[in-house]
Amino acid sequence: MDILSVIGIALAFVAILGGNFLEGGHIGSLLQLTAFLIVAGGTAGAILVQTPIDTFFRSLRMAFWIFLPPKIQGQAAIEKIVSWSNIARKEGLLGLETLAESEPDLFARKGLQLLVDGSEPEAIRNILEVELGTKEHQDTQAAKVFEGMGGYSPTIGIIGAVMGLIHVMENLADPSKLGAGIAVAFVATIYGVGLANLFFLPIANKLKSVVHVQTQFREMMVEGVVSIAEGENPRNIETKLQGYLSG
Amino acid sequence: MDILSVIGIALAFVAILGGNFLEGGHIGSLLQLTAFLIVAGGTAGAILVQTPIDTFFRSLRMAFWIFLPPKIQGQAAIEKIVSWSNIARKEGLLGLETLAESEPDLFARKGLQLLVDGSEPEAIRNILEVELGTKEHQDTQAAKVFEGMGGYSPTIGIIGAVMGLIHVMENLADPSKLGAGIAVAFVATIYGVGLANLFFLPIANKLKSVVHVQTQFREMMVEGVVSIAEGENPRNIETKLQGYLSG
Amino acid sequence: MDILSVIGIALAFVAILGGNFLEGGHIGSLLQLTAFLIVAGGTAGAILVQTPIDTFFRSLRMAFWIFLPPKIQGQAAIEKIVSWSNIARKEGLLGLETLAESEPDLFARKGLQLLVDGSEPEAIRNILEVELGTKEHQDTQAAKVFEGMGGYSPTIGIIGAVMGLIHVMENLADPSKLGAGIAVAFVATIYGVGLANLFFLPIANKLKSVVHVQTQFREMMVEGVVSIAEGENPRNIETKLQGYLSG
Amino acid sequence: MDILSVIGIALAFVAILGGNFLEGGHIGSLLQLTAFLIVAGGTAGAILVQTPIDTFFRSLRMAFWIFLPPKIQGQAAIEKIVSWSNIARKEGLLGLETLAESEPDLFARKGLQLLVDGSEPEAIRNILEVELGTKEHQDTQAAKVFEGMGGYSPTIGIIGAVMGLIHVMENLADPSKLGAGIAVAFVATIYGVGLANLFFLPIANKLKSVVHVQTQFREMMVEGVVSIAEGENPRNIETKLQGYLSG
Amino acid sequence: MDILSVIGIALAFVAILGGNFLEGGHIGSLLQLTAFLIVAGGTAGAILVQTPIDTFFRSLRMAFWIFLPPKIQGQAAIEKIVSWSNIARKEGLLGLETLAESEPDLFARKGLQLLVDGSEPEAIRNILEVELGTKEHQDTQAAKVFEGMGGYSPTIGIIGAVMGLIHVMENLADPSKLGAGIAVAFVATIYGVGLANLFFLPIANKLKSVVHVQTQFREMMVEGVVSIAEGENPRNIETKLQGYLSG
């Protein structure tokens, strides 16, 4: 559970709506269906044109990470790799075969399988790094879907605002119709800027951080598996991998 | 058929025009020939000055990819490469000669031809990577033509808006002429921002994604052909190439 | 004590408030609770959503560096490394064992420990560079928390300004209520732009400079420890490390 | 003759002036000496402060490339390199001596001279790549002079606009003087944004494309000359160099 | 003497003030102490918070380079390096000892000293490149102080403008006090944008060009010294180093 995400969203709402209240404004002035239709629909349209379909669905799945990020347990993983290295020393690489079959993490399992197959260290590194790079690229692209929405929504907000002003200009003679145009103009601006800066961009950046942590974790896994293939001693492997967690 | 592109463009239109309708505006207020002439003509002029002629025609051809992206079948390609590798093992590299002649994909055919010629693995990699890099650069430049239009159209929209305001100022004494200037000013802004954010930029980004997928596909092809030249066993080749598709 | 930070913040306050005074303005016009709530609360909310919890607390600790940056004594460190190198020449690498245990800097201690263990120079470099890279990434991310706030606060200021203008529009008929809306609109803009440009962005950049100096210092340490492992002579080590301080 | 540059500039003029005409504006409203003096003079001043004198004169020479880009004949160059490679095979590298003396392209001549001198392939590559890198950097800097002007002119346009508004404010009581200020304000904005987006930025980008093509061409030349030095067979050289042209 | 810097600054002043004069404005309208205090003081405050003290004083020293850039004589340096290489060939590397002691340029002297000490070519390259990298980083950071001021001054100008508008709003009822607020608002905008675009950013870019030329010069020096250490013949050294000057 990512507690900062919860606090952050709550705090932003309290600040904006509380500010509106203190100023003596009605919450109703900030709820405007037409403005929402223009900004949300236009932003969604732009992002759908921009995004390949795989990336789009991946970004929907990744959105949950804002509240429930994948658990990454670096320390436990180091212990696991060191235990593999001990087994490899005592029983040979073939001793890892049963572990490989029961390993839940698919990336680690691929590494173990390559060890059991007796692949060369450099070959193992190349194969795992291609996979790591592919995953990192795809996850980063999915995180950038939110970045893209954060780029489009303020400009679509401007379109909504100018459309509202056109409406105002056309009805200058009939003051009773002015209100609708002005409301759409201002509220579309708030929706566009607010969605971008309170949701889309912070979400994109949080997701990028999660992707970076995952990639670091997988790089540590690669380094560990390759070190086992090179027959390095378990203590050195532990020292090396600790560097990925320190700070 | 890229279904997201179709939905995205439809959704953007529905949202903007629906918003205009709900607000009580006439669609006619958003249709303004003068504003369109300034924004579309100015943007086209700027992009023509900016773009080399080869890149310009390439970008026109690539525009169709928005709806009909080139089919890239990674899994089938891996199977094909593995079958080549089996043939090379059994019959020697010369066994690939007839396949090379009938291979439809020009890039793959060049790779096969290099194998049949018995080139060194490093030489094959260099030759194919030069070609891959050239193609990637040219396709990326063509995708950036749309990015360029997305950069120019909002600023040309501003020029149109200010020209409209000049017209307004010159006719302050004659209110009947005010309308034209104000309409051009506002509608030019909408055209500039809208074309950029609902069309040009999303299109440029979709095209860049397609180019990236193609480049990844060709890198997988290079890796496969070089592995065959190095005499690696078919099972390892498959394991390695799967990394390009996983995620 | 970073004297420039103190002078800079004092100078900015004097300039802004002095300018307000010279113009004949009251300081009260710049104090506006509602605007502060919106800008500070919204910015804090956005940054909490964006930032992983480790990075967030790290950035709070690093904020003190603005006034009290960590002391980095390059010349003293070079002398220490040269003395290690002399000991290693005379007594062998094991002669560094007692020094390793009493070394206060954890990064240097890890380097000494690796020397005492008789690790290969390339292995030492790899292990220390992984740790150096991890630290640099984490510190840079923490510095970027302030950069993020500097990006969000002006846009949240715009939200506050537009909310103020909505309030103005709703009370056009009752001039006595206009003041509150206009004040919030203008002051929210000042808070957003001012917090970003007088605090958040300068702080982020100062912290990035400190992180860079620390990283350079650690790279010098790595170079020195690896040179000792390679058995280079102390005079050459000193010449090489001086390059990190010159300029 | 770069036909797209001619069409582009003509199209931009037709669109902007045609739009002005359709709207019922006079071309005279867009001609404003004071605004031109401020925007052109201020932009020129800024760019002169920014640019080293060599780069400045180089950018003036390169400006002609917009209409008359240097002719780059990749296919002819490949044939020439292949013929050199045949001569080198038959007569030895000394057989290239007379060709070296008559080669018009200075870069190619340097490559031939290095071949005749019997330099090592790696040495030839290093020497030619230093020269290639120097040329590319200098040409890119010269192209960026136009990019710089495209960055300054809109902001100088804003200075002109605000100066016009000051004039308006000072003469609010005397409406006959309002016109001049407002005209300068609006026209300075159009000049600033228009010069940047219709001239400076598109020109900078076209020049960058030309520089890239030249650099690619020289890289192909380096690859060819180095391959001759390595004694590769002419057919392989041709296959490799074709990769630079394909796409 | 950098004549373009002088012409550029003079031209910018003439254009802006001449434009103001042609328009019928008084120079007095552009002189506004309060606006200057806010913009200059706020920008100075922000940059002091941002900049480490070493970098700050370095940037003050480097500011003189705008008019008096350091003399860099590439052709003379190549001749000097070739003469060193001749001496090294005839008298051995020890023959360079007296030259090393009398060499005025500290970087070249360090290179000569390393040659006389008989260091390995790779060691010489590493040592000199660390020093070159440190110098380049520090000089670039100092140039970026002006870039930073160019980033802050327009936003501080906006703060000044909004403070002026607050003053205007508070005195709507007393028109005699309106002038001061409006003047501060407009003039602060001009000061902010003008200082950035006519001084800070062009100065930063000129300084970056000077730093680049110095770095190129030092890279040429490193290449020359390393080539002497490798015992390359003087004619080849000259050919190689000329590549750094060509273009």
Average pLDDT over chain D, rounded to whole? 93
Nearest-Cα distance to chain E for C137, in Å, is 19
What does the alpha-carbon distance between residue E214 and residue E74 come to, in Å, rounded to a whole number? Answer: 10
Does the distance separating the beta carbons of A14 and C49 come in below 8 Å?
no
What does the alpha-carbon distance between residue A30 and residue D76 come to, in Å, rounded to a whole number? Answer: 67
C-alpha E128 chain-centroid distance: 22
What does the alpha-carbon distance between residue B228 and residue B108 come to, in Å, rounded to a whole number? Answer: 13
Query: Among residues 141-170 of chain B, which lie with CB inside 8 Å of chain A?
Result: 154
- The percent of residues in chain D predicted with pLDDT above 90, rounded, is 79
Q: Model confidence over E163-206: pLDDT tens digits?
A: 998 888 877 777 676 766 787 899 999 999 999 999 999 999 99
Does the distance separating the beta carbons of D134 and E247 come in below 8 Å?
yes
Chain E interface, mutation test: which of C1, C5, C23, C73, most E Cβ atoms within 10 Å?
A: C23
Other Cβ atoms closer than 10 A to A44: 19
Q: Model confidence over B3-42: pLDDT tens digits?
A: 999 999 999 999 999 998 988 888 888 999 999 999 999 9
Q: Model confidence over C73-131: pLDDT tens digits?
A: 999 999 999 999 999 999 999 999 999 999 999 999 999 999 999 999 999 999 999 99
Of C3, C18, C25, Cβ closest to residue E37: C18
Chain A interface, mutation test: which of B17, B193, B197, B233, most A Cβ atoms within 10 Å?
A: B197
Q: Model confidence over D161-171: pLDDT tens digits?
A: 999 988 888 77
- The residue whose two tokens read 């069409």 is D7
E194 touches chain D (CB under 8 A): yes
**pLDDT for position B203:** 97
**pLDDT for position A247:** 62
Does the distance separating the beta carbons of D9 and B49 come in below 8 Å?
yes
Looking at beta carbons, which residues of chain E come within 8 Å of C10?
45
In the predicted structure, residue C229 carries a pLDDT above the cut 80: yes
Does the distance separating the beta carbons of B130 and D198 come in below 8 Å?
no
Average pLDDT over chain C, rounded to whole? 93
Nearest-Cα distance to chain D for E1, in Å, is 11
pLDDT-derived band at D247 (thresholds 50, 70, 90) equals low
* Touch test C–D: 3 Cβ pairs or more under 8 Å: no
In the predicted structure, residue A178 carries a pLDDT above the cut 90: no
In the predicted structure, residue A28 carries a pLDDT above the cut 90: no
- The percent of residues in chain D predicted with pLDDT above 70, rounded, is 98
What does the alpha-carbon distance between residue B238 and residue B241 come to, in Å, rounded to a whole number? Answer: 5
Looking at beta carbons, which residues of chain E come within 8 Å of C209?
51-52, 55, 141
Contacts of C75 (CB under 8 A, 6+ apart): C245
Of A9, A29, A30, Cβ closest to residue C49: A9
In the predicted structure, residue B167 carries a pLDDT above the cut 90: no
Ranges in chain E, pLDDT < 50: none
Nearest-Cα distance to chain B for A7, in Å, is 31
- Taking alpha carbons only, the member of E114, E46, E104, E54 closest to residue E80 is E104
Q: Model confidence over B202-231: pLDDT tens digits?
A: 999 999 999 999 999 999 999 999 999 999
In the predicted structure, residue C171 carries a pLDDT above the cut 90: no
C-alpha E147 chain-centroid distance: 10
Q: Model confidence over D75-128: pLDDT tens digits?
A: 999 999 999 999 999 999 999 999 999 999 999 999 999 999 999 999 999 999
What does the alpha-carbon distance between residue E217 and residue E38 come to, in Å, rounded to a whole number? Answer: 41
Cβ burial B79-115 (10 Å sphere, 16+ → b, else e): ebbbebbebbeeeebebbeebbeebeeebbebbbbbb
Nearest-Cα distance to chain E for D107, in Å, is 10
Give the single-character DSSP code of D117.
T
Does the distance separating the beta carbons of A203 and C48 come in below 8 Å?
no
8 A C-beta contact, residue A59 and residue A148: no
Chain B interface, mutation test: which of A132, A146, A166, most B Cβ atoms within 10 Å?
A: A166
**pLDDT for position B63:** 95
Does the distance separating the beta carbons of A14 and C170 come in below 8 Å?
no
Looking at beta carbons, which residues of chain A come within 8 Å of B23?
34, 163-164, 167, 180-181, 184
C28 touches chain E (CB under 8 A): no
- E21: burial class by Cβ within 10 Å (0-12, 13-18, 19+)? middle
Query: Among residues 89-148 of chain A, which lie with CB inside 8 Å of chain B?
Result: 110, 114, 119, 123, 126-128, 130-131, 134-135, 137-139, 141, 148
ipTM above 0.95, yes or no: no
D44 touches chain E (CB under 8 A): yes
D206 touches chain B (CB under 8 A): yes
**Among chain A residues, CA nearest to B188:** A162
Average pLDDT over chain B, rounded to whole? 92
Question: 3-class SS at A193?
Answer: helix
A15 touches chain C (CB under 8 A): yes
Give the single-character DSSP code of C68.
S
Angle (CA) B137-B143-B147 rounded to 5° is: 125
Nearest-Cα distance to chain B for D94, in Å, is 26
**pLDDT for position B168:** 83
Nearest-Cα distance to chain A for C215, in Å, is 12
For the packed helices E201-229 and E74-91, what is the interaxial angle rounded to 10 degrees?
A: 20
Nearest-Cα distance to chain D for E96, in Å, is 25
Q: Model confidence over A136-151: pLDDT tens digits?
A: 999 999 999 999 999 9
**pLDDT for position D50:** 96
Chain B interface, mutation test: which of A50, A174, A214, most B Cβ atoms within 10 Å?
A: A50
Of B45, B119, B162, Cβ closest to residue D12: B45
In the predicted structure, residue B247 carries a pLDDT above the cut 70: no
Of B25, B193, B205, Cβ closest to residue A50: B205
Query: Among residues 222-241 of chain B, which lie with CB inside 8 Å of chain D?
Result: none
